[in-house]
């Protein structure tokens, strides 16, 4: 019975993308002069999409992480519904051989809008709640959105050059466009390589910190044993209970400093104002408080739990050769 209900829910959810696809296709037809069919598909698409809203509401309530992700895709859909049809129409006309400079200009403006939206809105729309639970998908979204932004930005330049030179210098334009396409592939590779390299570094630094915390716990255990057995304390030169942990504490704090640098580094780009940091400043401050509590004799469990979550999120992207 549960399986049937699940299949029914996902079947109803499928109405949403089908409806939105009909809306966008209707808009394309309307812009291309087929106004009657375009209006029909546009209105029908909204009817189909709204039919899937009850299933969407049930889907969101089933998992507390889904609502934040939905906000991202709603914002991207709103931007895409205005910006994507222009480049698609221009691309179709390029293949048909009927493209005019005005089509290239429209595509350039639309692609530039997508570039700006992905650069700014993807960071603003990123969920601020349950950041550690979302960490693996947060890393993936940062890399994917940055790669898409870079590609659309480069294609915007290609479209702008097409609008300017397609009529007068078509042959040099083709070679320039191919060069920029190769550049888009290179930039995309570097974006994902940066994410893998950062995850590898954070994974290694986090492992070092966990080991230093273990060594600190072991030192405290030995100190407790010395307190219980005075003759052991005399053999060790009469050190007082609780002493001898300074080196282990310093090592753990140094390891945390390395981890903190990684957690504050943007995943997708070196430009901090537009990049998405690995974790938000608030979450980093919370983890730091837990680590310092553990280092100075408090409960180490909360700090270890957070660090292990970070390790698991990074484990799928570890690449020592990145």
**pLDDT tens readout for residues 67-105:** 777 777 777 777 777 777 778 777 777 777 777 778 888
Angle in degrees, CA 71, 267, 201, rounded to 5:
140
HEC string for 44-113? HHHHHHHHCHHHHHHHHHCCCCHHHHHHHHHHHHHHHHHHCHHHHHHHHHHHHCCCCHHHHHHHHHHHHH
Q: Kindly state the DSSP code that residue 273 receives in the 8-state scheme.
A: T
Quote the pTM value: 0.77
HEC string for 200-222? HHHHHHHHHHHHHHHHHHHHHHH
Q: Which two tokens stand for residue 294?
A: 């553990």
The rounded distance, in Å, linking the Cα atoms of 63 and 6 is 14
Each of the 322 residues of the chain gets a pLDDT tens digit; together they read 556 566 676 677 788 778 878 887 787 777 777 888 888 888 888 888 888 878 777 776 776 767 777 777 777 777 777 777 778 777 777 777 777 778 888 888 888 988 988 888 778 888 888 899 999 999 999 999 999 999 999 989 888 888 887 767 776 777 888 888 899 999 999 999 999 999 999 999 999 999 999 999 888 887 776 555 554 455 554 444 444 578 889 999 999 999 999 999 999 988 888 889 999 999 999 999 999 999 988 888 999 999 999 999 999 999 988 7
């Amino acid at each position: 019975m549960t399986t049937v209900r699940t299949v029914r829910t996902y079947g109803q959810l499928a109405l949403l993308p089908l409806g939105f696809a009909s809306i966008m296709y209707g808009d394309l037809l309307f812009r291309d002069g087929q106004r009657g069919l375009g209006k029909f598909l546009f209105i029908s698409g909204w009817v189909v999409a709204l039919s899937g809203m009850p299933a969407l509401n049930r889907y969101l309530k089933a998992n507390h992480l889904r609502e934040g992700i939905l906000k991202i895709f709603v914002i991207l859909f709103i931007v895409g519904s205005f910006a994507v049809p222009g480049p698609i129409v221009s691309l179709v006309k390029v293949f048909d051989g009927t493209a005019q400079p005005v089509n290239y200009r429209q595509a350039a403006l639309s692609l530039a809008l997508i570039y700006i939206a992905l650069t700014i809105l993807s960071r603003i729309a990123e969920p601020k709640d349950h950041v550690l639970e979302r960490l693996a998908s947060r890393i993936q979204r940062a890399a994917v959105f940055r790669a898409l932004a870079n590609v659309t930005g480069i294609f915007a330049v290609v479209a702008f050059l097409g609008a300017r030179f397609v009529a007068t210098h078509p042959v040099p334009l083709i070679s320039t466009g191919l060069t920029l396409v190769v550049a888009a592939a290179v930039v995309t590779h570097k974006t994902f390589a940066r994410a893998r390299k950062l995850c590898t570094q954070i994974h290694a630094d986090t492992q070092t910190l966990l080991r230093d915390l273990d060594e600190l716990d072991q030192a405290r255990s030995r100190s407790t044993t010395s307190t219980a057995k005075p003759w052991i304390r005399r053999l060790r030169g009469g050190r007082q209970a609780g002493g001898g942990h300074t080196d282990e504490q310093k090592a753990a704090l140094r390891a945390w400093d390395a981890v903190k640098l990684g957690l504050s580094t943007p995943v997708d780009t070196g430009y901090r104002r537009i990049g998405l940091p690995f974790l938000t400043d608030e979450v980093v401050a919370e983890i730091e408080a837990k680590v310092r509590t553990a280092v100075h004799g408090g409960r180490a469990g909360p700090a270890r739990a957070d660090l292990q979550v970070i390790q698991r999120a990074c484990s799928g992207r570890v690449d020592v050769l990145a």
